[in-house]
C-alpha cells in the first residue's frame, strides 16, 4: 500500500527532516531482508533487536527515507519522519492504509481455531474472487505488528483482507479493531487460553468481545456458551455457525449437508467435508458463514470444500513405509484444542493409538485441573498408550489414571529425545501416534527424529 506522505505526517504527528527530498508516496518496510529500492524504512524496536541499528543498512540497500524515534539514527541529508514512537507510528500508518483500502475486511479471533478458520476462509474467498485477490495474515502474525504489516501490504488488486487477531493482554483486540475496522468479525470461541495473563475468564471474554467494538457483523459459534450469553448485547443479530441440525439463523454442517438458515427458510446443499475432527468442522462452518457474507455462493462452497486444507502444524499427517503414522498437531495447545485433537484421534484407524501429550502454557491457577481434564479425556478416548511430558505431565497422568487408564500404559518422558527414543523402540508400523502440546515444547523435534 502506498501512503501519501502528507497523510503519513499527519497520522504520526511526525517532524519531517529534509522534506523536499521525501517521496510523495511511502511504501513502508521494517525488515531489511525484504526491503525494496525506494521503500521507506521504519525502525521498530523489539525484545531482541532495535531497528534503528539497521537504518544505515536500509539506506545502503536503496531505502528512500526513514521513520525513526531516535533522530541520531539517520545521517544528515536523509529525508526522515521523526515520530514519538515507531511502533505506534507503524500502527497509525496501518490505519491510513486501512482507510485507503476499498475492499472488505474480516477479523477473526478466538481462544482456539482462529488460524485454521482464517486459512479456510482465505481459500473459500479465493475461489470466489480469484487467485491473488485475497490477502490473509501469514502464519499467526496476529498482534499489533502483524495486523499492521498485513494492512500495509494490501495492494490495489486485493478485494478482501482476512485479519487474524490475537491478544495476550486485556483490551488488545479492541485496539486491533481500531486499526483494521473489520466489516465482519468471526469469534471462534472463548476458552481458557492465556488465563494466566488475563487473570480471569471475564477479562479474557471482554477482550475477545472487543472484536465487535467497531460495529463488525458478528459471526458466532452456537456451541460457545459465553458467546450465547453475550449475543443479546450486540446492536445487530449475529450470524451463528455450528455442527448438526440448524437451531439458530446461520450456517450449519450436518454430516454431508450444508444448511443455511435465514428466518424460517433453510437452504440445504450437499457438501463433502474431508477435514479431520469435529473441531475443524466448526472452524469450517465459521469460515463459510463469513464467506457467504462476502458474496461467496453456497455452490462455490460445496465445490471448494473437498480440496480445502489445514494450516501447517494442524493435524498434519506423516506417513512413511515401515514407520508408524505420525499426526503432528503441536503448533500450539490449550485445553479445548487438546480435547478436540483427542476426539479426532479416537476416530483414527490403527492397530494402536499412541498419544504423546506435552503440557499447555499460560493457564494460571487452573493449570493442574485443566491438565487432569486432558488426561481423563485421553483415557475416555481409549488411547492404547499415553506419553506425558512438560511441566504438568504428572497432572495429565493423574487425570488419565482417575479415568481408568492403567498405569502400565502411561509413560512419562523428560524431553523430546526421550519421547522419540521410546517411540522408535515401541511404536509399530501399523500404529498411529498423536503429538500434541504447547509450542514451547517444540514437539516437531520428535517428528524430525522419527522421520530421519
In a domain, 89, yes or no: no
In a domain, 28, yes or no: yes
Give the CATH number of the domain where residue 66 resides: 3.40.1390.10
In a domain, 91, yes or no: no
Rounded CA-CA distance 43/355 in Å is 45
Residues 293 and 321 in one domain: no
Residue 169 reports pLDDT greater than 90: no
Residue 192 reports pLDDT greater than 80: no
Residues 246 and 192 in one domain: yes
Provide the residue range defining the domain that includes 216: 101-307
What are the strands of the beta sheet with 325-328, ordered from one edge? 316-318, 325-328, 432-436, 353-357, 385-388, 410-412
Q: What is the per-residue pLDDT for 365?
A: 87
What are the φ and ψ backbone dihedral angles of 357, each rounded to 5 degrees?
Answer: -115, 120
Rounded CA-CA distance 281/257 in Å is 12
Q: What is the per-residue pLDDT for 233?
A: 96
* Cα diameter, the chain: 77
User: Residues 14, 85: contact at Cβ < 8 Å?
Assistant: no
Residues 55 and 105 in one domain: no
Residues 198, 199, 204: CA angle, nearest 5 degrees: 45
Q: What is the per-residue pLDDT for 394?
A: 98
Q: What is the per-residue pLDDT for 46?
A: 86
Instruction: For residue 307, count other CB atoms closer than 10 A to its CB.
Output: 10
In a domain, 93, yes or no: no
Q: What is the per-residue pLDDT for 48?
A: 87
Rounded CA-CA distance 57/371 in Å is 48
Q: What is the per-residue pLDDT for 110?
A: 94
Question: pLDDT tens, 247-306?
Answer: 999 999 998 999 999 888 999 999 999 999 999 999 999 999 999 999 999 999 999 999
Residues 248 and 136 in one domain: yes
| SS3 readout for 157-219 | CCCEEEEECCCCCCCHHHHHHHHHCCCEEEECCCCCCCHHHHCCHHHHHHHHHHHHCCCCEEE
Residue 197 reports pLDDT greater than 80: no
Element (H, E) at 371: helix 367-380
In a domain, 92, yes or no: no
Question: What is each CA distance from 158 to 101, 197, 384, in whole angstroms?
Answer: 9, 36, 49
What are the strands of the beta sheet with 104-109, ordered from one edge? 134-136, 160-164, 104-109, 184-187, 217-221, 239-243, 250-254, 257-262, 265-270
In a domain, 279, yes or no: yes
Tell me which of 281, 307, 333 is where a domain ends: 307
Residue 374 reports pLDDT greater than 90: yes
Residues 375, 389, 446: CA angle, nearest 5 degrees: 115
77: which 3 cell numbers?
541529508
Residue with the three cell numbers 458467546: 227
User: Residues 158, 78: contact at Cβ < 8 Å?
Assistant: no
Q: 385-424 as b/e, with b when 16 or more CB fall inside 10 Å?
A: bbbbbbebbbbbbbbbbebebeeeebbebeebeebbebbe
Q: What is the per-residue pLDDT for 199?
A: 64
User: Which DSSP symbol is given to 23?
Assistant: -
Q: What is the per-residue pLDDT for 231?
A: 97
Residues 298 and 337 in one domain: no
Q: What is the per-residue pLDDT for 391?
A: 96
Rounded CA-CA distance 57/345 in Å is 50
Residues 106 and 78 in one domain: no
Tell me which of 307, 326, 341 is where a domain ends: 307
Predicted confidence band of residue 8 (pLDDT cuts 50, 70, 90)? very high
Tell me which of 275, 290, 307 is where a domain ends: 307
Residue 435 reports pLDDT greater than 90: yes
Give the CATH number of the domain where residue 353 resides: 3.90.190.20
Instruction: Report the number of distinct structural domains present in the chain.
Output: 3
Question: pLDDT tens, 53-64?
Answer: 999 999 999 999
Residue with the three cell numbers 472488505: 104
Residues 125 and 243 in one domain: yes
Residues 169 and 274 in one domain: yes
In a domain, 150, yes or no: yes
Question: What is each CA distance from 284 to 114, 134, 228, 257, in whole angstroms?
Answer: 11, 18, 19, 13
Predicted confidence band of residue 196 (pLDDT cuts 50, 70, 90)? low
Predicted confidence band of residue 75 (pLDDT cuts 50, 70, 90)? very high
Residues 139 and 212 in one domain: yes
Residues 247 and 105 in one domain: yes
Element (H, E) at 344: helix 335-346
Give the CATH number of the domain where residue 192 resides: 3.40.1190.10
Rounded CA-CA distance 97/385 in Å is 52
In a domain, 437, yes or no: yes
Residues 47 and 121 in one domain: no
User: Residues 369, 200: contact at Cβ < 8 Å?
Assistant: no
| DSSP string over 222-271 | TT-HHHHHHGGGSSSPPEEEEESS--SSEEEEETTEEEEEETTEEEEEE-
Least confident of 18-22, 319-323, 398-402: 319-323
Residues 440 and 408 in one domain: yes
Amino acid at each position: 500500500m502506498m501512503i501519501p506522505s502528507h497523510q503519513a505526517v499527519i497520522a504520526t504527528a511526525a517532524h519531517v527532516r529534509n522534506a523536499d527530498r521525501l517521496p510523495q508516496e511511502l511504501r513502508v518496510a521494517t525488515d531489511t531482508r525484504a526491503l525494496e529500492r525506494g521503500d521507506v524504512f521504519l525502525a521498530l524496536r523489539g525484545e531482541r533487536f532495535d531497528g534503528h541499528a539497521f537504518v544505515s543498512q536500509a539506506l545502503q540497500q536503496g531505502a528512500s527515507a526513514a521513520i525513526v524515534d531516535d533522530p541520531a539514527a539517520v545521517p544528515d541529508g536523509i529525508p526522515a519522519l521523526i515520530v514519538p514512537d515507531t511502533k505506534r507510528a507503524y500502527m497509525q500508518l496501518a490505519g491510513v492504509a486501512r482507510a485507503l483500502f476499498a475492499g472488505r475486511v474480516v477479523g477473526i479471533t478466538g481462544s482456539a481455531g482462529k488460524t485454521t478458520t482464517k486459512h479456510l476462509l482465505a481459500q473459500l474467498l479465493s475461489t470466489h474472487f480469484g487467485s491473488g485477490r485475497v490477502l490473509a495474515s501469514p502464519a499467526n502474525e496476529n498482534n499489533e505488528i502483524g495486523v499492521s504489516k498485513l494492512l500495509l501490504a494490501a495492494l490495489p488488486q486485493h478485494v478482501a483482507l482476512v485479519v487474524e487477531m490475537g491478544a495476550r493482554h486485556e483490551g488488545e483486540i479492541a485496539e486491533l479493531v481500531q486499526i483494521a475496522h473489520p466489516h465482519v468479525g468471526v469469534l471462534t470461541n472463548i476458552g481458557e487460553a492465556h488465563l494466566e495473563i488475563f487473570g480471569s475468564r471475564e477479562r479474557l471474554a471482554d477482550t475477545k468481545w472487543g472484536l465487535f467494538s467497531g460495529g463488525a457483523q458478528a459471526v458466532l459459534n452456537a456451541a460457545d456458551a459465553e458467546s450465547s450469553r453475550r449475543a443479546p448485547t450486540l446492536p445487530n443479530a449475529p450470524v451463528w455457525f455450528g455442527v448438526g441440525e440448524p437451531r439458530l439463523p446461520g450456517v450449519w454442517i450436518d454430516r454431508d449437508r450444508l444448511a443455511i438458515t435465514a428466518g424460517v427458510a433453510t437452504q440445504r446443499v450437499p457438501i463433502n467435508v474431508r477435514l479431520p475432527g469435529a473441531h475443524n468442522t466448526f472452524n469450517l462452518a465459521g469460515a463459510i458463514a463469513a464467506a457467504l457474507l462476502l458474496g461467496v455462493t453456497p455452490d462455490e462452497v460445496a465445490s471448494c470444500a473437498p480440496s480445502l486444507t489445514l494450516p501447517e502444524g494442524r493435524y498434519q499427517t506423516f506417513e512413511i513405509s515401515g514407520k508408524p503414522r505420525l499426526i503432528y498437531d503441536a503448533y500450539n495447545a490449550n485445553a479445548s484444542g487438546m480435547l478436540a485433537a483427542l476426539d479426532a484421534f479416537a476416530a483414527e484407524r490403527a492397530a494402536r493409538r499412541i498419544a504423546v501429550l506435552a503440557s499447555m502454557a499460560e493457564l494460571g491457577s487452573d493449570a493442574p485441573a485443566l491438565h487432569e481434564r486432558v488426561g481423563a479425556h485421553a483415557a475416555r478416548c481409549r488411547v492404547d498408550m499415553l506419553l506425558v511430558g512438560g511441566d504438568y505431565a504428572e497432572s495429565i497422568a493423574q487425570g488419565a489414571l482417575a479415568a481408568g487408564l492403567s498405569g502400565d500404559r502411561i509413560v512419562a518422558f523428560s524431553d523430546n529425545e526421550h519421547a522419540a527414543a521410546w517411540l522408535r523402540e515401541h511404536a509399530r508400523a501399523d500404529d498411529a501416534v498423536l503429538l500434541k502440546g504447547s509450542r514451547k515444547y517444540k514437539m516437531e523435534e520428535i517428528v524430525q527424529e522419527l522421520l530421519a
